[in-house]
Amino acid sequence: RKFLECINHKKIQSTNRNCEVTADVRHDGSEPRVDVTFADGERLIMKGANLTTIEMLTALGSRCNVKELKEEQKRKKSS
């Protein structure tokens, strides 16, 4: 829930207007997890029981940075 709170913060949302956050909160006793689907279809699944909020934010940020670098390299090649 803390991760969701951080992701939904106005400053974070303003950095990427294409980001859509959908919460599916379940009370069935299942392990908490965050399932991120990127625009290219790739998924990042993080099991919340084993990770802190900071670790989850870092993992998401790292994945986003890698995707951004790949996109930048692709643009440089096509120029």
Question: In this predicted model, what pLDDT tens digit does every residue of 24-56 receive, in sequence order?
Answer: 888 888 888 889 998 889 999 999 888 999 999
Domain assignment of residue 69, given as a range: 1-78
Q: Mean pLDDT over residues 56-73, rounded?
A: 91
Question: What CATH number is attached to the domain comprising 20?
Answer: 3.40.30.10
| Block residue for tokens 């990127």 | 38
Q: What is the pLDDT of the chain when averaged over all its residues?
A: 87
Radius of gyration (Cα) for the chain, nearest Å? 14
The residue to which tokens 């069935």 are assigned: 28
Phi, psi of 44 (to 5 degrees): -125, 120
| Total domains, the chain | 1
